Every structure is written in structure tokens, then in C-alpha cells.
Amino acid sequence: MLATVMYGTRDVRLEDVPDPTLDLRPAAGGLDAVVRVEASCVCGSDLWPYRGIEPVDQPHRRGHEWVGIVEQVGVNVTTISPGDFVIAPMYVCDGTCLNCQNHLSVSCLGGGFWGTEIHDKGFADAGQGERVRVPLADGTLVTVPGGMPDPALLPNLVTLTDVMCTGHHAARAGRVAPGSTVAVIGDGAVGLCAIIAAKRLGAARIVAMSRHESRQKLAEEFGATDVVAERGTAGIEQLKQMFDGMGPDAVLECVGTKESMETAIRAVRPGGKVGYVGAPAGGSTLDMATMYFNNVGVDGGIALVRDYIPELLPDILNRTIQPGKVFDLELPLAEVADAYQAMDERRAIKVMLRSHA
Amino acid sequence: MLATVMYGTRDVRLEDVPDPTLDLRPAAGGLDAVVRVEASCVCGSDLWPYRGIEPVDQPHRRGHEWVGIVEQVGVNVTTISPGDFVIAPMYVCDGTCLNCQNHLSVSCLGGGFWGTEIHDKGFADAGQGERVRVPLADGTLVTVPGGMPDPALLPNLVTLTDVMCTGHHAARAGRVAPGSTVAVIGDGAVGLCAIIAAKRLGAARIVAMSRHESRQKLAEEFGATDVVAERGTAGIEQLKQMFDGMGPDAVLECVGTKESMETAIRAVRPGGKVGYVGAPAGGSTLDMATMYFNNVGVDGGIALVRDYIPELLPDILNRTIQPGKVFDLELPLAEVADAYQAMDERRAIKVMLRSHA
């Protein structure tokens, strides 16, 4: 089959790789599934190695956001059946370990990430390809009732693999509640989804920090009540002014740089909360003194996608939220290299790839 | 009157200073009170400048933990009367600003710290002395019904000025709830009070990190179910082992060093919370990567003492909690220099000073 392999900086290729099959070894436990990928995405975090910010030691498969139709399941799979349309969270998890029981599925003791070996359960293909072997199907996949969905729903469903759940994680970690005042740093797909999430949780006022006109418009469509184009100290001052000189109740940090975290902790009001989901790039650290004297709490991290999908899925199926609008470019898998390039050059907010034309 | 003045490293003197009086200037607003100090304390944070870790630019008054009997009140004071026994939180606050309304009295826009000028409201004496002028009496002081309390209650009441509320703040910030598993880093007065607070909030298991036998005993008396003497990586490993290899739900950081914060974020379970109240010494920073991949939340800061006193006072009056046991030395104000020395040399956990023999 065809799948995406990253070779190095700005070198992404679609290549022939082995077709995935069920793993019949006893160690694999008959817990796997083979899924035909319908759609996948390029993630902002795919750009870190693409841009050379993260080193690429060896060629490796990419793609952790994908949905598809189940083709085969192992003998011990109980909740997933051939023909099911499934959403894959951005990681593999067993659903049974202590961390999964604690709703921390992203820290699953038996799981791992797409494109890697999952302990003794065998290889998990990455999602930017034609098919994926899922080592722990019951714990990982979420079935959407009714088989292949309405094409108009597909982009919305794809966002549940990562960005919509990640935006929700930021809002939950920032303790957004009915009436909250919120600022969102980052106008990428995650930041835009964080606006949806904040509105969904009842925020009274949501400020989008954005300097790109098309993203500002989408932010407003998603529920932003205000837009601030300034960054750094000027952006902080503007935010403080908008909220009685104090700042908003919550700042949702959806970038991951040292600068954006500093802006977040400085901009939030005394006693406010920073919900952060930007993967920390370049050894970020937090200045404790600013936090201490203002009682600023910082919570978040890598999103608990598998735990959130069941909570958010109904709102997508009943069309209450439409996060799929973050996709402003759709390409066939064959053009995956162009997809990376479009996101790298910020010509696209987020690209959806169709694995089968 | 006599009051404590710090001149420099290990140089603390009791000196004659001006007697406080009501400030009759219109700017002062008739909002002040003069209080005769009954008892005060030496705080762990008093030791930072005493030990030369914080520079001492000029001689200055010390003491932010004190209780006393009101002698005089300004014409516009409404809730405090002469003869009242009052508890002073470790800062001055007006009770009316936006931050006070948000239960962030420690960030009061009109307030400040003892031993400094409170905006245009005049000087607030520090507490290690014979009397204090309180610039904003209604917003700052909490009256204990019934006048001068039973002598046995006095040490317990004094802890509400800082350490008991600070321990409670750590437990609240660490989201301790019924059934929580908790580790407390720091066996000083604040750490010991954090054990009381965690037990009070229903923690099922509380590990005291302590290597001093007398403090271990007090920790157990306060509710610790386990003691770990190891520190650093060995301490983290022991904590992990005690809780299914994962670590406890919450770690309460009551020290304030870079090392103790690192221990806290590494020891807590994935998805766990670090409640921190140790004043960050020496430009502490937090490693974001450890936090991000384990979804560790960090909350806390300088305690909201004025907000917590009304919540904790009933439990002291009905003797449910007895945090006053942290005082293992009581001295007259005349021996304040010895009090500092005893704490510096760790001969005492915490010293209570009597201002009037």
C-alpha cells in the first residue's frame, strides 16, 4: 500500500510499504484491527520535524489523525466490527490500565503512538496512508453509529482525532465555565477549536489573538467576541485593558513556544488559569515568580483525545459544532508533499487528505 | 514602642520606633485601627533575608503573622471595635477591589504588605512589635467572637495569619478531595499544616516527606499515614512505588526551591496536580516537557489568607484542628533575635513571640 514517509527537513514522500495484516502471534492477543483509511490530516506538530526544528534520525511513517472503515478484526476484539466507521485518537491505548481508568488514556501503560511498535503488540501504522493496523482496537477506536457518514460530516469527525479534542482540553484545563472571560493564543486549527470549546462550555467573552484576516473571520464564526492582533507586551496590555485592567479569567495557550507561554501567564488575571496544549518546543520553562505572586495556575498538556471523543461526538452528529471548517484545503493522499508545503507556508490552516479518491 | 528591625544578614534588633496612632489625614479615610499585638511569629520567609539569600538594602521592620486586641479605630471603620480580638492576615487588603471580589485578596489593588506604606493610606507597622497601625481595618482584620481567647487556643489562632491558611492553599490548589492520595514536600510549619489541610479535605492517604524524627512524629499526629525520608530521585521512586508505580494524585510543594518543584512535578501521577506555596527562591523555573507529557497541572502561589480565615476559624474554635502544635518554642518579644537564630539553626520548627509578658 501507499503511505507517507518523512526522510528529513522538507522531504516527505509517498511510498510503497507492506500491507498491514492482522498479527496472529499469541503475543498480539487477537486484539488488533485493519482499517481502510478514509481521511487523514497534516498536524501542526508534523511541521516540527518537517521544518528541521525536531531532528529526523531516520525515515519514518507519519500521520496521527485519521478515520476509516474497519476491514478485519482480531479474534478477541469485541466492540469493533468490519464495516464500522471509526475515529482513531492520536494515540493507541488499551482502555484498561490504571492511567486509562484515571481518564488519562494518553498516558496508557500498554499503548503508544502511531507509526511505532506498541510494546509486544506489534507495529501500528501511521495514518497518512491507505490502511492502518490498530494493535489495540477495542481500547483505541471509537465507532460512529451508522457506517460511512454523510460526506458533510466527515471533516468535522476528523477533527475529533486531535485538534477539536485538543482545543477542548485547553478549555477544560483553563477551567472555562459559564460566564468565563477567555483569551486564546494561537490561530491555528487547535486555537480555533479552543474557541469552539470555550463557547461550548459557556464562556461569556472570547478574545482571539490573531493577525491573519481569514483566521480572524473563522475565529468570529466559531464564537470569538473580540480579536486582538497585537502580540507580546502590547498584546498583554490590550488584554488587561479589555478586562478591567486585570486580564481574562483564562488564557488558552495553543502554540507551545516560550514566548506564548510567557504571554499567557502574564496576561491572565490574578487567580486566573492558563490551559495549555501547545507542545513545548525548545525546552520551554515557566517563570515561577510571575505565577506565584499572581496565583496563576497552569494546567494541560497532551490532550486526552480518547477520553473526550465520546463527550464531543454527539455535538458533531447533531451539528451543534462544526470544527471541520478549519480545513481550508483538501488533497488526495498522492499530493501529501503539497499538503505539508501548504501548511508550512501557512497557505492553509489545515489540510485534509483523502486516502481513496 | 518596641519593634523588630532587620539590618542585614543575621542582624535582627528590637528597637524603639514611633508609637502608631490613627492617621487623621483625609487621604487615610478614617479606615484605620491601632491594635496591641498579643502574639506574632517568625516565618520561614523571614529567614531568606536573615540568611542573606535575599538582599537587605536597608533596615526594615519585620513580621507579617500577628494577632491582637484592638485599641482604637478610625471614624469610618464599621466592623471592628476597640476590645475586639483580631487575626491579621499576612497582608493588608481593602475587601472591595476587583481582586478581593474575586477572592484574590492577596492581590488587593488597594492593599500591600506589613512594614510598608499602603498607597496613600499611610504606614502599616509590621507585626513583630508591640503595636500595629492597620490602614484598612475592615478589609483586613477578622474578629474572633468573645474577646481575648482561651490561652490554649491562642497558638492555633495565630497559625491562621499565614501557615495554616498557606497549607490549606496548597491542598486546595492541588485539588485534594475525599479519597485523594497526597504527598507533602517540606516538613516546616507550612508543610505540616498542609497535612492537616489534606486530612481535613478528606485525603485517604498522606505521605510526609521528612527526615527529622520530631517533625515526622508531628506529621503523623496531624494525619500523615506514611513517611518518606528519601529525597530527589530516590524519594520520587519511593513515592511512585507506594502508589501503583504511578505516584499520588497530588503533591503539595511547601519549600520553594527548584529541586522541590522538580521533585513535585516528577513524583505526581500522570494527570495529577501540584499545589505549590513555597515562595520561589532563586528564579525557579518549571520544565514544561515533564508537565506536558504527563498532564501535570501546577497551581498555587502566595496564599489567599484573608479569604480562608473565615473558612478555617470554626474548625479551630471547635478544636477539630490544632495547627498551633507547630510552635515548639515560645519567647518574649525581647528575645526576637534568639527566635530567628533558633529557626535558622532548625532548633525550632516555628517560634511564637509574646509581645506583652
pLDDT by residue (tens digit) across A248-265?
A: 999 999 998 889 999 999
Alpha helices in chain A (DSSP H): 47-50, 98-101, 137-140, 154-158, 163-173, 189-200, 213-222, 232-242, 258-267, 288-294, 305-317, 336-344
Q: Which of residues 77-116 of B touch A (CB under 8 A)?
A: 98-99, 102-104, 106-107
Question: Which of B284, B300, B316 corresponds to the end of one domain?
Answer: B300
- Grid coordinates in use for A211? 493577525
Q: Which residues contact B294 (CB under 8 A, 6 or more apart)?
A: A107, A301, B265, B268, B270, B271, B272
The nearest CA of chain A is from the CA of B281 a distance in Å of 9
Question: Region A17-37: what's the mean pLDDT?
Answer: 98
**Helix, strand counts (H, E) of chain A:** 12, 17
Interstrand relation of B33-41 and B131-134 (parallel, antiparallel or unpaired): antiparallel
A240-244 — which CB contacts under 8 Å span 24+ positions?
A240/A267, A242/A207, A243/A181, A243/A269, A244/B98
Test the B interface: residue of A295, A304, A307 with most B CBs within 10 Å: A295
Asked if A301 lies within 8 A of B285 by C-beta distance, the reply is: no
Q: Is the pLDDT of residue B282 over 70?
A: no
Single out the residue of A135, A196, A151 nearest to residue A171, CA to CA. A196
Contact A98 B246 (CB under 8 A): yes
B6 and B146 belong to one structural domain: yes
* Model confidence at B160: pLDDT above 60: yes
Q: Which residue of A has its CA nearest to B289?
A: A280
Assess whether A48 and A153 both reside in one domain. yes
Task: Give the number of other Cβ atoms within 10 Å of residue B350's Cβ.
Answer: 28
Does the ipTM exceed 0.85?
yes
Q: What 8-state DSSP symbol labels residue B105? A: G
Percent of chain B with pLDDT over 70: 99
The answer on B118 and B188 residing in a single domain is no
Number of domains in chain A: 2
Position B348 pLDDT exceeds 60: yes
> What letter does residue B129 receive in the DSSP assignment?
B
Where do we find the cell 470544527? A323
CA distance B80 to B110: 19
What are the DSSP calls for A120-180, one per residue?
GG-B---SSBSEEEESSHHHH-EEETTSSPPTTTHHHHHGGGTHHHHHHHHHHHTT--TT-
Q: Which residues of B are less than 8 Å from A292 in CB distance? A: 276, 279-280, 300-302
Measure the CA–CA gap between A106 and A92, rounded to whole angstroms. 8
Measure B315 CA to nearest chain A CA, in Å.
Answer: 25
Is A175 found in the same domain as A145? no
Give residue-wise pLDDT tens across range A32-62.
999 999 999 999 999 999 999 889 999 999 9
C-alpha B37/C-alpha B354 separation (Å) is 8
Cβ-defined contact of A295 to B289 (cutoff 8 Å): no
Chain B residues in contact with A294 by the CB 8 A cut-off are 107, 301
Whether residue A272 sits in one domain with residue A345: no
Of the candidates A330, A249, A252, A260, the residue with the CA atom closest to the CA atom of residue A295: A249
CA–CA dist A134, A327 (Å, integer):
25
Instruction: Report CA Rg, chain B.
Output: 20
Mean pLDDT of B170-183: 98
Q: Determine the structural domain holding residue B220 and report its residue range.
A: 163-300
Query: How many Å apart are CA A219 and CA A15, to the nearest integer?
Result: 37
B325-to-A330, B78, B199, B321, B352 alpha-carbon distances in Å:
68, 34, 16, 10, 11
Residues A156, A15 within the same domain: yes
Average pLDDT over residues B95-102: 96
Q: Is A149 on the interface with B (CB under 8 A)?
A: no
**C-alpha angle B211/B217/B220, rounded to 5°?**
105
Q: Which of B278, B300, B322 is the last residue of a domain?
A: B300
What is the 3 state secondary structure string of B75-90? Answer: CCCCCCCCCCEEEECC
pLDDT of residue B174: 98
Scan for cell 460526506, then name that residue: A151
Give the residue among A130, A3, A132, A1 at the shortest CA–CA distance from A60: A3
Which chain B residues touch A297 with a CB distance below 8 Å? Answer: 173, 297-300
Last residue of a domain, one of A262, A277, A300: A300
Alpha carbon B182 to its chain centroid, in Å, reads: 20
Sign of CA dihedral A19, A24, A29, A34: positive
Statement to judge: residues A7 and A123 lie in one domain = yes
Q: Which helix (H) or strand (E) holds B259?
A: helix B258-267
> How far is residue B247 from each of residues A140, A343, B264, measured CA to CA in Å?
25, 40, 10
For the segment B149-170, the average pLDDT, to the nearest whole number, is 97
Q: Are residues A211 and A134 in the same domain?
A: no
Of the listed ranges A202-211, A276-285, A314-323, the one predicted with least confidence: A276-285
Tell me the three state secondary structure of residue A35. Answer: strand
- Look at A299 and B297 and tell me if their CB atoms are within 8 Å: yes
A282 has pLDDT over 70: no
Residue pLDDT, tens place only, B32-89: 999 999 999 999 999 999 999 889 999 999 999 999 999 999 999 999 999 999 999 9
Cell of A166: 485538543
Residues B178 and B128 in one domain: no
Distance CA A69, CA A141 (A): 11
Report chain A's terminal Cα–Cα distance, integer Å.
Answer: 14
Does B268 touch chain A if contact means CB atoms closer than 8 Å?
A: no
Running DSSP on this structure, what letter comes out for residue B174? T
Residue A277 and residue A310 share a domain: no
Selecting from A261, A293, A297 the residue whose C-beta is nearest the C-beta of B302 gives A293
Length of chain B, in residues? 357
Contacts of B280 in chain A (CB under 8 A): 288-289, 292
Q: Nearest residue on chain A to B103, judged by CA atoms?
A: A271
Q: pLDDT, tens digit, for every residue of A81-123?
A: 999 999 999 999 999 999 999 999 999 999 999 999 999 999 9
CB atoms within 10 A of CB A317: 16
Q: Angle formed by the axes of helices A258-267 and A232-242, to 10°?
A: 30
Do residues A291 and A147 make contact, with C-beta atoms less than 8 angstroms apart?
no
**Are B134 and B148 in a shared domain?**
yes
CATH of the domain at A210: 3.40.50.720
- For residue B346, give the CATH number of its domain: 3.90.180.10
The whole-angstrom separation of Cα A285 and Cα A280 is: 9
Task: State the pairing for strand pair B327-332/A297-300.
Answer: unpaired
CB B108 within 8 A of CB B93: yes
Judgement on whether residues B136 and B9 belong to the same structural domain of the protein: yes
